[in-house]
Amino acid sequence: MSRLKDLEKENASLRKINQVLMERVERSIDSSSDAFGIFEHNILLQKHIEERTAELRKTSQKLADLLEEQRKVSAQLTESKTRFDQLASHSRTITWEINPEGLFTHVSPVVEKVLGYRPEELIGKKYYFDTHPREGRDDFRNQLLETLSMHGKVSSLARVALTRDNNHIWLSTNIIPVLDSHSRIISYWGSDTDITRQKLAEKEREALQSQLLQAHKMESVGVLAGGVAHDFNNLLQAISGNIQLLLQDKPEGHPETSRLRTVATSIDRAVQLVKQLLFFSRKAEAARVPVDLNQNVRDALKMLERTIPRMISIELDLDDDLWQVSADPVQIEQVLLNLGGNAADAMPEGGRLVIETCNVQLDAEFAKVRLDLDPGAYVLMTVSDTGTGMDEETVSHIFDPFFTTKEVGKGTGLGLASVYGIVKGHEGAISCYSRPGQGTTFKIYWPVIADASEDRDTCLPKKDKPVGGTETILVVEDEDDIRELIVEVLKSYGYSVITAARGEEAVELFMDSSESIHLVILDLNMPGMGGHQCLLELLKIDPEARVLISSGYSAAGQAKATLRAGAAGFIGKPYLMAELLAKVREVVDD
């Protein structure tokens, strides 16, 4: 434009000179020689003016064409930006421009929907400062500068942004520099796309994958635990049986009786631990009997005192006239140990663990609305601690499987989930009350039963004298110690005994002597022909054969299938000799 103005000024000056010369020509027309010279000069000057004017017109046209091209490009850019902003507004993408100092010079309207700011509120604000959480601002700035320096642009950088109401969201950032004709950066154009939903979905997918991996891991551990429990039950069977025989031979007051009873009590405790392994591996079913929760609390207390830190005091406040409930003692103990263990973890510097029991009557409104229970009588068991406590969000997830607040490797997230499952399995309810810094309280409501008396198994001999017989019994057991123990007990009570260490051997013996064999005691888990297949072969020989199956697992699983196939009864290892004799008599006399 300045060049055009210069040419116009030059043209005007030449015209003015031409006019002055023409006036001189007119005044000097009388002088022919001067007139001819001036005329010749005027012609040359006129030609020069015309050439310069033509050049000026060409230059002016070029400038006009350039201005038109710039106008079209500017219009196209404006239209493109408008379309991009419209698309971005629907895709939750903020478009913006910042100057080389990092200050906003333009922000698209969608920023209000995504971050809660009006565009004009961010103009002049620092991009990496005012929309980024306080922690990590410098790191984010350095990351941007390093990426721009190395690659010349930023592509799909996932980052956390801060909204106006101080919420954190995820954005995907793209940045390109804008250069002038001398390749100098005059601004940066960028976009931030809200990817919070995508990130949450990724997090949920990772959590599900982790849960699946954990489930496979726990399944493998469960299989291992079940196998260990089965083998351990076989060991306990041999130990327990021999202890019982020794106690039978000792008169009351014998100096060794007390020691043998101590061993028997320890064996009983081991049996309960094995049951927990079987519950974990899902190879055992709950054995619900009338129980006194106070006694369960006292039993669990002995274990808790050995496992939780000494700087944590345990206090009991138990109702002396507590109603009985129908429950599995082992599972109740598992509930108490899980809650007590969690309480200890919440008190790393010490504190108080309080366990309370009392009788309560729940009205219809409280029972249904608060606990989803039927109204009536319940025993309330409360477990409280003075630990760190939990916020509402954590409390809302504590019963979720695999949810844990512990460090990686220090918690499976199954403890409270199993507690919840046990309580629900007993038609009860559990609730949690907690606040940060104020400790945690669990309240468990157990349904009451009427006129129930406690009947708990023990490893000690029963007072009722076992009844024997004269029938012939085939004992099929691959464990030598257990087989010899069973033979000794049965023979001592008058029975005739035939033995087999394998299923194949048992089938051959039964084929030869089926008419004289009144009962078969058959171990389910044997190498070679297993107990189930052996039963089927025995029933082919004699469909009326009476077979009592035995296993280190519970009556669940394979034992159920074998009972349906025709077994007359089941007894789980380890069993008391008195229990075996009673079961033998029951099956034979049936």
The one-letter amino acid code at 429 reads A
pLDDT digit string, tens, across residues 247-272: 777 777 777 777 777 777 777 777 76
- Residues 113-124, buried b or exposed e (16+ Cβ, 10 A)? ebbebebebbee
On the 0-12 / 13-18 / 19+ scale of CB atoms within 10 A, 545 is buried
Work out the pLDDT band at 498, boundaries 50, 70, 90: very high
Angle at 258 between CA 254 and CA 262, to 5 degrees: 155
CATH, range 293-453: 3.30.565.10
For strands 376-385 and 440-447, give the pairing.
Answer: antiparallel
d(CA 536, CA 375): 49
pLDDT digit string, tens, across residues 102-119: 899 999 999 999 999 999
d(CA 589, CA 467): 12
For strands 312-318 and 351-362, give the pairing.
Answer: parallel
- Provide the residue ranges of all domains of the chain, joining segments of one domain with +: 2-79, 91-194, 293-453, 472-589
Distances (CA, A) of 37 to 17, 42, 316: 16, 8, 134
Q: What percent of the chain has pLDDT over 70?
A: 77
In this predicted model, which residue has the larger pLDDT, 368 or 143? Answer: 143
Beta-bridged to residue 312, according to DSSP, are: 351
Task: Provide the CB-side half-sphere exposure for 560 (13 A, CA).
Answer: 6
Quote the pLDDT of residue 536. 94
What rounded mean pLDDT belongs to the chain? 80
In this predicted model, which residue has the larger pLDDT, 131 or 375? Answer: 375
CB 545 within 8 A of CB 538: yes
d(CA 152, CA 113): 30
Nearest CA among 583, 553, 586, 580 for reference residue 485: 580
d(CA 504, CA 33): 151
pLDDT digit string, tens, across residues 239-250: 877 887 787 777
d(CA 9, CA 103): 44
CB 105 within 8 A of CB 99: yes
Beta-bridged to residue 382, according to DSSP, are: 356, 443
pTM higher than the cut 0.85: no
Work out the pLDDT band at 463, boundaries 50, 70, 90: very low
> Omega before 574 cis (within 30°)?
yes
CATH, range 472-589: 3.40.50.2300
d(CA 20, CA 495): 155
d(CA 524, CA 531): 4
Concatenated DSSP letters of 455-520 = ----SSPPSSPP-----EEEEE-S-HHHHHHHHHHHHHTT-EEEEESSHHHHHHHHHHHTTT--EE
Q: Is 485 left (phi over 0), alpha (psi -120 to 50) or beta?
A: alpha
Phi, psi (degrees; rounded to nearest 5) at 90: -85, -25
Helix (H) or strand (E) holding 378: strand 376-385
Architecture of domain 91-194: 2-Layer Sandwich (3.30)
Query: What's the mean pLDDT in 117-122?
Result: 90
On the 0-12 / 13-18 / 19+ scale of CB atoms within 10 A, 385 is buried
- Residues 269-280, buried b or exposed e (16+ Cβ, 10 A)? ebbeebbbbbbb
Angle at 374 between CA 370 and CA 377, to 5 degrees: 100
Quote the pLDDT of residue 452. 40
The one-letter amino acid code at 503 reads G
